[in-house]
Amino acid sequence: MYRGLLFLLCRRLVALSTVFLICLSLSGCSPVETVIRGETMGTTYSVKVMTGRWSRTGNLAELVEARLGEINASMSTFIEDSEISRFNGITTTEQFTPSADFLEVMTIAMNIYELSRGAWDGSLDPLVTLWGFGRDGQKEQLPSEEEIEAGMSLVDFSKISVSSDGKFIKNKSGLTIDLASIAKGYGVDAIAALLKDQRYENFLIEIGGEIFASGKRDKYKPWRVGINTPSSSAGFGQVYKILTVEGRGLATSGDYRNFFVAEGRTYSHILDPRTGYPVTNGVVSVSVVAKTCTFADGLATALMVMGYESGMELVEQLENVEALFIIRREDGEFDEYPSSAFKKFEL
């Protein structure tokens, strides 16, 4: 009798243990969102990580902050002793040994420069400063034709070469660079790499509007991200279109946030390296979905400069890249032009 009762008790304990393990497994899969926020690169960032209920993110916030600090110390022209500032200070007789971050960003930048046939040019730094969008702040008056011509003489990203041992060489005196249009995207990718190294699979990273999404927000639902309404009067939370993105970066470039008005005209911060003037091709916004946010970030700026027709022609030639062009009509309304497979990301 006692043996029978012991047998039944053991069976009950095994059953209860099985139920407990199943419940533990299910609750471990129940999504819990950890959010890390802060400031970097002159803007804000947000990192959302989905974990099981029993998971712990530990010192993840400190790791994220430290990694972004490294990138900012490399890419910021506003820091006098940053890596990019030191590169800008070398002469044509010197060689520059880059960090792994700087080398990777410059390699991607050179690719975008070639793909866009110079519509994106990282050596726009003199013109960015001249037009009042750089580290010297806004100017009180428009630059003269002579000043623009002088600035243009210093612009040519192709004059930077890489030696066989990975060192950068300037082949134009006075050439300086500004990587602001690609650095935020690289920051996003760097944090994505950090999270994956920490064995996180489901997360959403945003730096100043540039995004990378991995996995899902919960077991079944993908991350949903919004494209901001391309208008200076629209709030940052005002959404024009919602996309679902997984394992990809999303970046948007537009002329409606950073601009100034002079003599009755609006001048965008997006400059055409081929003319030295802000773009005036009617494109108000370009959003790019790509495998990395770095590439999406730089390409979005290039497409703003290229305009709809030549820009879309380039997009359709690239693998795993889609884009949405938004053009403002004379009546103030928008026309949108998606690439062939862009709609698969629309909610």
Q: Which of 115, 30, 121, 123 is nearest to 77 (CA)?
A: 123
Query: Residues of 322-331 as b/e, b for ≥16 C-beta within 10 angstroms?
Result: bbbbbbbeee
Helical (H) or strand (E) element with 286: strand 283-290
| 8 Å CB contact between 304 and 256 | no
Spacing of C-alpha 273 from chain mean position:
21
Provide the residue-wise pLDDT of the chain in tens; the chain has 347 residues: 444 434 443 444 334 344 333 333 444 456 789 999 999 999 999 999 998 766 677 899 999 999 999 999 999 999 999 999 999 999 999 999 999 999 999 999 999 999 999 999 999 999 999 988 877 677 667 889 999 999 999 999 999 999 988 899 999 999 999 999 999 999 999 999 999 999 999 999 999 999 999 999 987 789 999 998 887 666 667 888 999 999 999 999 987 666 666 666 666 789 999 999 999 888 999 999 999 999 999 999 999 999 999 999 999 999 999 999 999 888 878 899 999 999 999 98
46 is written with which tokens? 């947000």
Distance CA 216, CA 202 (A): 5
CB atoms within 10 A of CB 230: 23
Is 338 in a helix, a strand, or coil?
strand
* Distance of alpha carbon 133 from alpha carbon 156, whole angstroms: 19
Domain spans of the chain, in order of start: 89-170
pLDDT at position 51 is 87
Which of 304, 344, 305, 306 is CA-nearest to residue 322? 344
Rounded to whole angstroms, how far apart are CA atoms 91 and 93?
Answer: 5
Q: Which fold has domain 89-170?
A: T-fold (1.10.3980)
Farthest-apart Cα atoms in the chain, separation: 105
pTM of the entire predicted model: 0.88
What letter does residue 91 receive in the DSSP assignment?
-
Q: Which residues contact 175 (CB under 8 A, 6 or more apart)?
A: 123, 154, 155, 156, 159, 160
Within a 10 A sphere around the Cβ of 319, how many other Cβ atoms?
6
pLDDT at position 9: 38
CB 78 within 8 A of CB 87: no
What's the pLDDT at 29?
A: 53
295 sits in which H/E element? helix 293-306
